[in-house]
Structure 1
Amino acid sequence: MVTIHWTFSRIPQYACFSIKNFFRKCHLVCRSLTYNHFLDQSYIADVCMEPLFWFVDNFTYTIGPIFVVSVIGLTVSVVIIAYWIGIPYWWNRNPIICILLLIVGHWLLLNISFHYYMAVITSPGYPPQGELIPEAVSICKKCISPKPPRTHHCSACNRCILKMDHHCPWINNCVGYGNHRYFFLYMVYMVLGVLFVIVCGFDLAYTDIWLTPSDIDDPELEGHSVKFNQTGALIPVTDVPHLDSSLLDDEPAYNYINPWRRRALVYMALINCGVLLALGMLSLWHSQLISKGETCIEANINKAETVRLKQLGKTYSNPYNFGRKKNWKIFLGLVQGRTFVRHVLFPSAHKPLGDGLKWHTIHDEDIDEWP
């Protein structure tokens, strides 16, 4: 006879084991059905960023004209305020300095307008369609066309861009081989322009913004011919009881402070400081990239390659980095007799070096003779 012993105390342990085993099998089945050998952190990040990519692909090119109109509108508004307030202020203060400021200001405005216009209308450069490209190094997976060196596909434009840096909605265009110089010089001159306005208008802004109407309305101040109420309206000094009209001049001067003038100066201060901070940092970053002979996209690629080769005990070198001086010379197109004064300090529509399809590298034998 067989004796069966029931151990009720082990039932919870068996139940817990069965539940864990069931979930382990479910997990194994899910992993088997969704297995991807190429799954890594980059793949997961791309999946999580897919909604953002979708928005950029579908709306960036559409809302680009709105950004362009916004840039033009903000620039025009700042120029109008400078003419309305800044020029009369400096003319009354010192006509000679005012004329010098007008010359410098219009030089900056000319460069800003020219380089922004050229960055918007100039094609960044596209690989030829339907033609054999001997310089091609790969095939674009999205548009199924040959890709020359330094060429990348833009999702917003839905085509490959020669020496693509990035797609900028503020110019409604890609920044690439054809207009990279215009885009960078626009940022530089815009930073110089807002810095010029901030420096020249600091004293004016300090007087009209920092010194509030309450400072002017101080009852302890004597000798003023007018007094202001809270709305900014003029009150003749004879109506102010604590002042003796016999102490005043025969013809009191009414120094009215227009409230719209103060609002315009506050608007100018906010716009200029914001542009100076944003474009100033962006210009410095692009300057570092240009000094290294790389674009924004290539900076990420070079960084990843540097890490990968370092793990293998090797050193990565950017094939397009010819040294700081030569990189800037190539980027600005200062070849074939072109000079910095004529072709950088003043508007110039000269084209970049080469054709955007073939690029010299540090491994070329005639590198010392180029450019």
Structure 2
Amino acid sequence: MTPKTQKMITIYWQFSNIPKYVFSSVHSFFQKCRITFRSLTYNHFMDQSYMADICMGPMFWFVDNFTNTIGTLLVIAVVALTASVVIIAYWIGIPYWWNRNYLICIFLVSFGHWLLLNICFHYYMAVFTHPGFPPEGELIAEAVSICKKCIAPKPPRTHHCSVCNRCILKMDHHCPWLNNCVGYRNHRYFFLYMVYMVAGVLFIILAGFDVAYTNLALSVSELDYPELEGHSVKINRTGALIPVTDAILLDSSLLGEDLDYEPPNPWKRKAIIYMALINCGVLIALGALSTWHAQLISRGETSIEANINKAETLRLSELGKVYRNPYNFGPRKNWQLFLGLVQGRSFFRNVLLPSPHWPDGDGLTWHTIHDSYDCT
């Protein structure tokens, strides 16, 4: 190459493009990795609900495997707490009202034992009555689907309980405080137990208010009364001024004998505070739960069906249609069916008094609003 044909080549370094080039390369690399990962883990059914189920899987596993264990402990706790409240009522409440007015005491004892009888009966039946299971190894003509976990026919209103590991007829929920599922056969016992328990704690709160006031407020005020400075007098429990000598002040037993004064028992005060905390907590918790279940019963649905019906209502509303619960016969008939007040049964004999009668039907077939059905 001659000098004449030789050309000069100039290279321009543009350092300002280096960050852009690096960012583009890194972004392209991560995009390839993302596409590769998604192609290897692709799932057509992937959505937010599916991801939530996966993330909550460990929690579900813990509940499924340990609910039966802690359920027994919770049943023992319910029995122990109920027994403690009854014992304290016998220890403090009955003597107080007997000394004050024996007629009121007789009424309170009779009414309280009626509530206690219903509470014990319905809790026992809710715990030891099986909720109802589909027949195993038989062809169920009423089945509407197949349970994916049991691989068995599933009748209407039946759902699979992961804790019991089997299908439950008209399942409402699994209650750890019962260590049992709430379903077709024991739903009435569960609800009436809550109602009578709420009535029972409300009864104790109302009947024990005067007891608590007397043993807490007045006893505290008596203990805190100071001696009046400059005067040899003290205030007795009635508020009157009485002369006090040094000998009487030193001898508390003589003071109690002369004034008919019983020193407050600190254990009674602790027991009353314990009763107040337990009863108020139960009143709030079971009061709200029983109110919610009463609303479900009025609509003719269980807690599981409430979620299903809500989803169906939203789905059909988007299509311009109205969803109707096929098991909602109106509040009055819904309550009659739930309480089993059919075939001549009465509210007084079968609701106000303990009654072991079975619900109407067999739990496999259900009448709907499309049937001409009379529950009387």
TM value normalised by structure 2: 0.90
The C-alpha deviation readout for 1:209-242, integer Å capped at 9, x for no partner, is 244535433125835289xxxxxxxx9984438x
Corresponding residue of 2:3: none
Q: Look up the SS of the partner of 2:133 in the other structure.
A: coil
Corresponding residue of 1:10: 17
Q: Superposition pairs for residues 153-168 of structure 1, below 5 Å?
A: 153-168=160-175
- Residue of structure 1 aligned with 2:111, choices 100, 104, 111: 104
Look up the equivalent residue of 1:130 and give its one-letter code: G
Distance 1:236 1:340, change over 3 A: farther
Look up the equivalent residue of 2:188 and give its one-letter code: R
> 1:317: Cα distance to partner?
0.9
Moved more, 209-218 or 312-321: 209-218
Moved more, 292-301 or 44-53: 44-53
Corresponding residue of 1:230: none
Query: 5+ residue gaps in structure 1?
Result: 227-234
> 1:252: Cα distance to partner?
3.3
Q: Look up the SS of the partner of 1:38 in the other structure.
A: coil
CA distance in 1, matches of 2:76, 2:245: 45
CA distance in 1, matches of 2:129, 2:116: 20
Identity %: 68
Look up the equivalent residue of 2:277 and give its one-letter code: L
Corresponding residue of 2:308: 301
> 1:31: Cα distance to partner?
1.7
Q: Is 1:266 paired with 2:278?
A: no
CA distance in 2, matches of 1:237, 1:150: 80
Corresponding residue of 1:337: 344
Corresponding residue of 2:138: 131
- Residue of structure 1 aligned with 2:28, choices 21, 24, 46: 21
Q: Look up the SS of the partner of 2:212 in the other structure.
A: helix
CA distance in 2, matches of 1:236, 1:37: 93
CA distance in 2, matches of 1:236, 1:83: 39
Q: Which has the larger radius of gyration?
A: 2
Q: Is 1:240 paired with 2:252?
A: no
> 1:4: Cα distance to partner?
4.5
Count of aligned pairs between the two proteins: 357
> 1:305: Cα distance to partner?
1.0
Conserved in 1, the CA contact under 8 Å of 2:133 and 2:169?
yes
Q: Is 1:288 paired with 2:300?
A: no
- Residue of structure 2 aligned with 1:191, choices 190, 198, 214: 198
Corresponding residue of 1:82: 89
Look up the equivalent residue of 1:224 and give its one-letter code: N
Query: 5+ residue gaps in structure 2?
Result: 1-6, 239-243
TM value normalised by structure 1: 0.91
> 1:84: Cα distance to partner?
0.3
Conserved in 1, the CA contact under 8 Å of 2:71 and 2:178?
yes
Conserved in 2, the CA contact under 8 Å of 1:225 and 1:253?
no
Conserved in 1, the CA contact under 8 Å of 2:115 and 2:200?
yes
Moved more, 335-344 or 307-316: 307-316
C-alpha root-mean-square deviation of aligned residues, in Å? 2.3
